[in-house]
């Protein structure tokens, strides 16, 4: 007979220190006046270990996130809770947005998460208010939506590319703040992550997309143009953070040169928000004794 051992639960080395989710949120939250450009993209705030430690931490945290999302869903189904979360990922090309989407989506139940990527607006999208395509992807209560880019592109791209008169994108700061405040009031929290990557790391990743067969499908000339406009984007990011970091929806600036770190940090930021809800398993509104007796009676072999 083969004895099946349970999978070994990964443990973090004793000397690795990691900030609790709430502490990490405070470490990464954008503070008015803070310089976006000064955030060291290679740093790992709140985590003292290396890549291998980071990977071990993922497994542990992913299990926590999975459990919390299930509790969220259970309370929505059986407790009438009306809460949902939108994780917004912004950042330059190759800052790892797509990888984080896959990481978070892979951690929770497929029923508990929806993902959406917002590229250049389609003809139909462009014929609508810029928030139209965002509304259509808002999560149902009990679930998490992960956005690869978002409504913030509608400030960044027109600004840097000069696609509209400045007035058009300038008005959007307030429109977005009101939109997100309204969402929070109706139970949908927006968690906004601005990934920051160094020019050197970006060059390395974009180069891979040109020379590696398995990555060539990701290469786009447009990414090189955006890279050339590095400083214009930096300014645009700075203003965006200043103008749209609000009490109900603050921005978190996450160093992203080390993918294992940004993934760990984003999952912890999500865990922090979910833990705030203090979600208990909803108790059944039945008498377990009665139900157990009925279960016994329902034994098909007793018919
Ligand atoms: P990615 O580069 O993230 O893998 P895509 O190439 O499909 O994905 O789409 C991203 C491109 O779409 C980026 O260049 C981005 O700036 C552009 N984009 C996204 N939203 C908008 C928008 N609202 N207006 C103009 N361009 C946008």
CA distance 15 to 276: 28
* pLDDT at residue 4, rounded to an integer: 64
The pLDDT > 90 percentage for the chain reads 93
**2 has pLDDT over 70:** no
Mean per-residue pLDDT of the chain: 95
Alpha-carbon gap, residue 139 to 129, rounded angstroms: 19
Which of 149, 148, 72 lies closest to 108 in space, CA to CA? 72
Question: Is the predicted pLDDT of residue 166 greater than 90, yes or no?
Answer: yes
Instruction: Find out whether 45 and 250 touch, Cβ atoms under 8 Å.
Output: no
Q: Measuring from atom 26 of ligand 1, which residue has the nearest CA?
A: 120
Q: How confident is the model at residue 6 (pLDDT cuts 50, 70, 90)?
A: low
Q: What would the pLDDT profile of 282-301 be if each residue is shown by its tens digit?
A: 998 999 999 999 999 999 99
- Tell me if 300 CB under 6 Å of ligand 1: no
Instruction: Give residue 146's Cα distance to chain centre.
Output: 5
Question: How many C-alpha atoms does 134 have within 13 Å on its Cβ side?
Answer: 19
DSSP string, 194-248: EEE--HHHHHHHHHHHHH-TTTGGG--HHHHHHHHTHHHHHHHHHHHHHHH--SS
Q: What percent of the chain has pLDDT over 70?
A: 96
**Rounded distance between C-alpha atoms, residue 181 and residue 189, angstroms:** 9
pLDDT at 118 over 80: yes
What average pLDDT does range 227-234 have in this prediction?
A: 98
Q: Is residue 73 in contact with ligand 1, taking CB distance under 6 Å?
A: no
Q: What is the pLDDT of residues 33-44, one digit of tens each?
A: 999 999 999 999
Q: List the one residue out of 181, 252, 258 whose CA is nearest residue 21.
A: 252
Query: Residue 99 corresponds to which tokens in the numbers above?
Result: 């990888």
Assess whether the C-beta atom of 118 lies below 6 angstroms from ligand 1: yes
pLDDT of residue 302: 81
Rounded to two decimals, what is the model's pTM?
0.94
Regarding the beta carbon of 94 and ligand 1, being less than 6 Å apart is answered no
pLDDT level of residue 12 (50, 70, 90 thresholds): confident
pLDDT for the residue 45: 98
| For range 18-42, the mean pLDDT | 97
Sign of the dihedral through C-alpha 171, 176, 181, 182: positive
All domains in the chain, ordered by first residue: 19-29+36-302 (3.40.50.300)
Q: Does residue 303 surpass a pLDDT of 80?
A: no
Ligand 1 contact via 119 beta carbon (within 6 Å):
yes
Mean pLDDT of 77-85: 95
Ligand 1 in reach of 172 Cβ (< 6 A): no
Residue 273: count other Cβ atoms within 10 Å of its Cβ: 19
Question: Ligand 1 mean position to 46 CA, how many Å?
Answer: 31
Q: Whose CA is nearest to atom 13 of ligand 1?
A: 119
Q: Whose CA is nearest to atom 11 of ligand 1?
A: 119
Residues 6+ apart with CB under 8 A from 88: 147, 150, 152, 190, 191, 192, 193
Atom of ligand 1 nearest to the CA of 222: 14
At residue 5, the pLDDT reads: 61
What separation in Å is there between the alpha carbon of 157 and the centre of ligand 1?
A: 8
The pLDDT, as a whole number, for residue 13 is 81
Measure the CA dihedral 9/10/12/13, to 10°. 100
CB neighbour list of residue 292: distance below 8 Å, 6 or more residues apart: none
**The pLDDT of residue 14:** 81
pLDDT of residue 232: 98
pLDDT on residue 289? 95
Angle value at C-alpha 174, between 171 and 178, nearest 5 degrees:
140
The alpha-carbon radius of gyration of the chain (Å, integer) is 22
pLDDT, tens digit, 9 for 90 and up, residues 172-219:
999 999 999 999 999 999 999 999 999 999 999 999 999 999 999 999
Cβ of 127 less than 6 Å from ligand 1: no
Q: What is the pLDDT of residue 79?
A: 86
Nearest to 263 by CA among 120, 65, 110: 65
- Mean pLDDT within 8-22: 81
Model confidence at 63: pLDDT above 90 = yes
């Amino acid at each position: 007979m083969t004895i099946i051992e349970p999978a070994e639960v990964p443990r973090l080395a004793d000397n690795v220190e990691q900030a609790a989710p709430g502490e990490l949120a405070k470490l990464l939250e954008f503070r008015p006046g803070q310089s976006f450009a000064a955030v060291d993209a290679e740093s790992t705030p709140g985590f003292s270990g290396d890549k291998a430690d980071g990977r071990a931490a993922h497994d542990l945290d992913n299990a926590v996130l999975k459990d919390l999302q299930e509790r969220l869903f259970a309370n929505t189904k059986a407790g009438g809770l009306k809460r949902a979360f939108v994780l917004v990922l912004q950042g330059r090309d190759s800052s790892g947005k797509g990888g984080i989407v896959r990481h978070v989506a892979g951690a929770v139940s497929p029923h508990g998460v929806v993902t959406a990527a917002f590229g250049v607006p389609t003809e139909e999208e462009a014929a609508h208010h810029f928030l139209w395509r965002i509304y259509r992807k808002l999560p149902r209560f009990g679930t998490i939506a992960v956005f690869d880019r978002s409504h913030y592109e509608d400030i960044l791209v027109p600004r840097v590319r000069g696609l509209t008169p400045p007035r058009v994108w300038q008005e959007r700061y307030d429109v977005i703040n009101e939109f997100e405040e309204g969402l929070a009031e109706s139970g949908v929290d927006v968690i906004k992550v601005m990934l920051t990557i160094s020019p050197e790391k970006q060059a390395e990743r974009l180069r891979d997309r040109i020379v590696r067969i398995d990555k060539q499908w990701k290469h786009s000339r447009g990414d090189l143009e955006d890279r050339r406009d590095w400083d214009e984007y930096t300014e645009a990011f700075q203003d965006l953070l200043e103008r749209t970091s609000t009490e109900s929806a603050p921005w978190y600036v996450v160093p992203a040169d080390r993918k294992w770190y940004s993934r760990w940090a984003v999952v912890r930021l999500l865990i922090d928000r979910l833990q705030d809800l203090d979600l208990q398993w909803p108790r059944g509104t039945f008498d377990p004794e009665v139900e157990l007796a009925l279960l016994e009676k329902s034994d098909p072999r007793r018919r």
